[in-house]
Amino acid sequence: MDATPARAHGADMTKGLARQVRGWLLGSVVVGGVSAVLLVCQFILLAHLVDDLAFHDRGLDTEFSVFGLILACLVGQVGARFVSDILGTQAGLRVAGHVRGKLLAHLFAAGPVVCAGVPAGEVVTTFTEGARALVPYFARYVPSAAMMVVLPLLILAVVAGVDGWSFLVLACTGPLVPVFMVFVGYGAQTIMDRRWRELSLLGGSFLDALRGLKTLRLFGRTQDSLDRIARLADAHGRTTLSVMKVAFLTSAALEFFSSLSIALVAVVFGTRLLAGTADFRSAFLVLLLAPEYFMPLRTFSASYHARQNAQAAMEHMGKLFALPAQAERYTLPALLPAGGVGTLVCSGLEVHTPDGAPVLQHVTCHFARNQLTVLTGASGAGKTTLLNTLLGFLQPVAGSLGAYDTSGQSMPLHGVRMACVPQYPLMVFGTVADNLRLGVPGADMQQLRQAATLADALGFIEALPEGFETHIGERGSRLSGGQVRRLALARALLQNPDVLVLDEPTAGLDAVSALHVANALRRCVAGRIVVVATHRQALADRADALLHVAGGTVESVPVQKETVA
């Protein structure tokens, strides 16, 4: 079955995660055990009390101490149960937090190119709802699995001390329950495996239909699809129920044994009481304890779907964890002082997309300091892939990317300070200054102004109502496209990068804005390598070096005019 390896992986993950919160889980189980002991004590006292009052003509006033003890046990039992639940929840939440942290770190290690291959909605759902599905598993399922062992054994021990026959009844029926549950559970699992595709297909049919709504409308099939969705929903209900019916047999088995043993205890004890060979106190106690004997089993089987949800969630997480870590370079901090990089050299570079499709082959070119290098070529030709490789978001399959300092000495790539301005730059909710300081949190006003000047952004920033302290709105909605680009450029410059990479910096801008950006770019060239991918001729005209990307490779194009900034 397709799902099996992922399931096995999920089981491994569960163990690892349980280890993470062992203390909390252990606490939950121990306190739960205390609660179980108190519960049994409470029932012993209650049986004692009822027996005394009903059969031994004790006055109510003589039993005050027993009342007190029962209440004490009750409060202790309830309190301990409460604490146990809370410890379990804490364990669950901690696991969820831990998994989210690890996942996020892994995604950052995978890098933007790899992550772009997974639908954002799926990632977001795995993070939030997936991690959330782990909580009940650790909060309820794991403690209840432990409690399933503790409480029945405890009750069995007490009953053994009270009455042999009842012990026999409970000891025989108790173990049969798990046996039957496993038996039926396997049956249900087999059916589920056999109908796995059908179930997952129908289960996902609603989401599938919603995703395809636009396609259906374009085909003019909206009306027919209404019937289709109703039919699929119907089939989903029927299939699910047919599997559930088998799964319900599990609880029916549980129900059978628990009802049967109560009835047996009552009838067997009744006969013996009648014959005078048993005393009421033990009979009543066993009758009180019998339902509790099966209660943990019931709680456990009720939390069974928590396990299934958690397993499904872990399969999804497994998929994300399986993403290759492509952006390795950024796991290291920038170690070297800035300003030393002379050239970046690509030799025989071969780059594939994360799913293995070749994009660039035999790319040999270089990018020099104090030069504006412009990449041209049709979209889809591999310009962005080359930029992503330079930035370290994609690792080449063959060939190498090297950095050399101004004296021609080879230097480690992770010592090169990179900065980039993507086509749709990140704008966080906050002021202009907040956005500029993202990369250099400690930058002072002087530095901000300097960077803004260089990026040709100072003019418009100062024209804003509150200057650097102006809020830019959700995703920079209060700024124009050109202003956002220049702000992002200023932010990149604030980091004083050795290499500055820009993807389509003038796309979607009118001629005037494009000119502003182009002029700003020319000014940034001093002391660094600037690489720009563009469609625009205006920008290509200002290049010091032109590279044309086509047919999976890169060619150097002679620059027409003799300009050096």
Partner 1 sequence: MSMPQDSLAGGAQGFFRLSVGLRWRLALGVGFACAAALASFGLLFLSGWLLAGAAVAGLGGQAVARAFNIVLPATGVRFFAMVRIIARYLERVVAHDGALRLGGHLRAWVYARLAPLAPAGLMGQQGGDLLGRFVSDTDKVAAYYTDVALPFLRALLCGVVFVGVFACFMLPAAALLAAGLLLGGVLVPLLVGPAMDRLVRREAERQSHIQAELAQTLQNMGEYLLLDAASSRAGQWQAQQAEMDRACWKLDVLESAARGLITLITFATALGVLVLAVSACRAGQLSIAEVPMLVLGVLAAFDVAAPLPLARQAAAQAKLATIRLDAACPPSTPRPVVQGADLPHAPYDLVVRDLSFAYPKTVSPVLQNANLIIRQGEHVGLVGPSGIGKSSLINLLFGFYAPDSGSISFGGVDVGTLRAEDMAAFVSVAAQDFHLFAGTLRDNLLLAAPHATEQELADVLETAQLTQFIQSLPQGLQTWVGNDGLRLSGGQARRVAVAQALLRGTPWLVLDEPTEGLDAALEQGLMAALVQRCEQTTIVCMTHRQAVLPFMHRVIRVEDACFRPGGGSDMKS
For residues 147 and 487, give the distance between their C-alpha atoms in angstroms, rounded to a whole number: 59
- How far CA 312 is from CA of 77, 133, 305, in Å, comes to 35, 9, 10
User: With contacts defined by CB under 8 A, how many residues of the chain interact with partner 1?
Assistant: 149
Could you say which residues in the range 389-448 bind partner 1, by CB under 8 A? Answer: 391, 393, 418-420, 422-426, 438-439, 441
Among 201, 368, 433, 515, binds partner 1 (CB under 8 A): 201
Rounded-to-integer distance, Cα 193 and Cα 196, Å: 5
Q: Which of 496, 524, 530, 451 is nearest to 338 (CA)?
A: 496
Contacting residue, 34, 78, 171, 368, with partner 1 by CB under 8 A: 78
Q: Is 163 in the site for partner 1 (CB under 8 A)?
A: no
- The total of other beta-carbon atoms located within 10 Å of residue 229's CB is 16
Question: Which lies closer to partner 1 via its Cβ, residue 352 or residue 535?
Answer: 535
Binding mask 473-502 for partner 1 (x = CB under 8 A): --x-x-xxx------x--xx--x-------
- Classify residue 30 as left (phi > 0), alpha (psi -120 to 50) or beta: alpha
- From the list 231, 235, 345, 251, the residue with the least C-alpha distance to 298 is 251
Contact between 305 and partner 1 per CB under 8 A? no
Nearest distance from C-beta of residue 78 to partner 1, angstroms: 4
**Alpha-carbon dihedral sign for residues 216, 220, 226, 232:** negative
Examine residue 321 and tell whether it contacts partner 1 (CB under 8 A). Answer: no
Q: Is 1 in the site for partner 1 (CB under 8 A)?
A: no
Residue 75 binds partner 1, judged by CB under 8 A: yes
Stretch that binds partner 1, among 258-266, 316-324, 444-452, 522-530 (CB under 8 A): 258-266
Residue whose token pair is 């297909």: 201
What is the nearest approach in angstroms of partner 1 to the Cβ of residue 531?
Answer: 13
Does 111 bind partner 1 (CB under 8 A)? Our answer is: yes
Q: How far is the CB of 312 from partner 1 (least distance, A)?
A: 13
Query: What are the φ and ψ backbone dihedral angles of 195, each rounded to 5 degrees?
Result: -105, 20
**Choice between 186 and 219, CB closer to partner 1:** 219
| Terminal-residue alpha carbon distance, the chain | 64
CB of 400 to partner 1, least distance (A): 21
User: What are the b/e assignments for 111-149, b being 16+ CB within 10 Å?
Assistant: bbbbbeebeeeebeebbeebbbbbbbbbbbbbbbebbbe
Q: 380 in the Ramachandran plot: left (φ > 0), alpha (ψ -120 to 50) or beta?
A: left
Considering beta carbons, is residue 229 or 347 the nearer one to partner 1?
229
Q: Which neighbouring-strand residues pair with 343?
A: 368, 404
Choice from 5, 16, 101, 117 touching partner 1 (CB under 8 A): 101
Is 220 among the residues that bind partner 1 (CB under 8 A)?
A: yes
Q: Does 348 bind partner 1 (CB under 8 A)?
A: no
Q: In angstroms, rounded to a whole number, what is the distance separating the alpha carbons of residues 149 and 168?
A: 18
> Among 25, 41, 91, 265, which residue interacts with partner 1 (rule: CB under 8 A)?
265
DSSP, collapsed to helix, strand or coil, labels residue 212 as: coil
- Shortest gap between Cβ of 39 and partner 1 (angstroms)? 10
Point out which span in 22-30, 111-119, 144-152, 165-173 binds partner 1 (CB under 8 A): 111-119
Residues 328, 395 contacting (CB under 8 angstroms): yes
| 337 scored as a contact of partner 1 (CB under 8 A) | no
Of 554, 503, 502, residue with least CA distance to 350: 554
Nearer to partner 1, 387 or 521 (CB): 387
Q: Which residues pair with 530 in a beta bridge?
A: 372, 500
The reply to whether 181 sits near partner 1 by the rule CB under 8 A is no
CB of 411 to partner 1, least distance (A): 18
Instruction: Transcribe 19-46 into DSSP letters.
Output: HHTHHHHHHHHHHHHHHHHHHHHHHHHH
Instruction: Establish if 139 lies at the interface with partner 1 (CB under 8 A).
Output: yes
Choose which of 9, 48, 79, 178 interacts with partner 1 (CB under 8 A): 79
CB of 257 to partner 1, least distance (A): 9
5 touches partner 1 by CB under 8 A: no
Binding mask 501-540 vs partner 1 (x if CB under 8 A, - otherwise)? Answer: ---x--xx-xx-----------------------x-x---
- Phi, psi of 552, rounded to the nearest 5 degrees: 80, 5
Question: Using the rule CB under 8 A, which residue among 165, 183, 256, 460 binds partner 1?
Answer: 256
Residues 53-72 that bind partner 1 (CB under 8 A): 53-55, 60, 67, 70-71
For residue 335, what are its two tokens? 């170690």
In the complex, minimum distance from the CB of residue 501 to partner 1, in angstroms, rounded to a whole number: 9
Stretch that binds partner 1, among 264-272, 305-313, 338-346, 523-531 (CB under 8 A): 264-272
CB of 408 to partner 1, least distance (A): 26
Counting contacts by CB under 8 A, is residue 558 touching partner 1? no
| Cα 380 from Cα 230, distance rounded (Å) | 41
Is residue 223 close enough to count as binding partner 1 by CB under 8 A?
yes
Does residue 214 bind partner 1 (CB under 8 A)?
yes
- Residue 63 CB burial class (10 angstroms; 0-12, 13-18, ≥19): middle
Residue 168 or 287: the one with the smaller Cβ distance to partner 1 is 287
Side-chain half-sphere of 548: how many Cα atoms within 13 Å?
8
